[in-house]
């Protein structure tokens, strides 16, 4: 198989969705650098970077610039930014183990899903048509449903970051205090909590089904 020319490789790096991915990384770096000194600016930059996650996918389909590099760049950016925010929340609330557990679940489920997809010869970890679980199929098959879960999860984490005080406190106490302050905030917390909860269930199912795929691959290879 012939090696791709440097010009061809460069063109992939300069795809519009990949350029958006680079901008997302810069925004996240700036956001986390300022997260303690300017919470509002952090929230704006972080959420806009998250919004661009859907934007780059639209550009990829619009201009036929879908690439494996772009998909990996997109996923790595998502996982790292969420992991960093969860790590910060683990320092702001007690017990911090809650957020560290969510961090571990997020990374483990997506890593197993990516690896099992690779073993199955799939081009995307979102290809779950051969899976039997209806929720996993709905999550990856319905863009609006997936968007609701992802947006809900990220917005919930941003809200928790914004309402945290300087002293470590219980997550439940912080949420109860926030509910007393504003009916709009209460509604937002309720809606985002639903999306967050569904996403965590999907992560658990995804991790289990991906692990099963790896075991099945080993069984077939040993025959």
Would you name the residues annotated as active-site residues?
Answer: 78
The separation between CA 22 and the C-alpha centre of its own chain, rounded to angstroms, equals 16
Calpha distance 139→148 (Å, rounded): 10
The number of CA neighbours under 13 Å toward the Cβ of 153 is 26
- Residue 63, number of CB atoms within 10 A of its CB: 11
- Residue 95, number of CB atoms within 10 A of its CB: 12
Contact 176, 185 (CB under 8 A): no
Query: How, if at all, do strands 93-94 and 169-170 pair?
Result: parallel
Calpha distance 1→125 (Å, rounded): 25
Calpha distance 95→84 (Å, rounded): 17
* Residue partners of 35: CB distance under 8 A and separation at least 6: 42, 88, 161
* Residue partners of 209: CB distance under 8 A and separation at least 6: 116, 128, 131, 133, 136
Helix 183-222 to helix 171-181 angle (10° resolution) is: 140
């Amino acid at each position: 198989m012939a090696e791709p020319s440097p010009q061809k490789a460069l063109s992939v790096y300069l795809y519009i969705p990949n350029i958006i991915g680079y901008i997302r990384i810069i925004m996240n770096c700036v956001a986390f650098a300022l997260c303690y000194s300017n919470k509002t600016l952090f929230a704006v930059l972080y959420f806009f970077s998250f919004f661009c996650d859907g934007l780059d996918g639209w550009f990829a389909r619009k201009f036929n610039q879908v690439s494996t590099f772009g998909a990996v760049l997109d996923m790595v950016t998502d996982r790292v930014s969420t992991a960093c925010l969860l790590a910060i929340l683990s320092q702001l609330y007690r017990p911090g183990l809650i957020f560290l557990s969510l961090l571990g679940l997020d990374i483990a489920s997506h890593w197993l899903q990516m690896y099992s997809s690779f073993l199955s010869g799939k081009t995307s970890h979102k290809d779950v048509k051969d899976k039997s679980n209806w929720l996993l199929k709905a999550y990856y098959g319905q863009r609006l449903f997936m968007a609701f879960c992802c947006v809900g999860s990220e917005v919930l984490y941003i809200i928790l970051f914004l309402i945290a005080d300087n002293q470590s406190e219980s997550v439940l106490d912080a949420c109860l205090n926030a509910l007393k302050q504003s009916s709009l905030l209460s509604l937002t917390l309720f809606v985002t909590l639903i999306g967050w909860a569904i996403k965590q269930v999907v992560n658990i199912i995804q991790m289990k089904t991906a692990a099963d795929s790896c075991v099945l691959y080993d069984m077939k290879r040993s025959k």
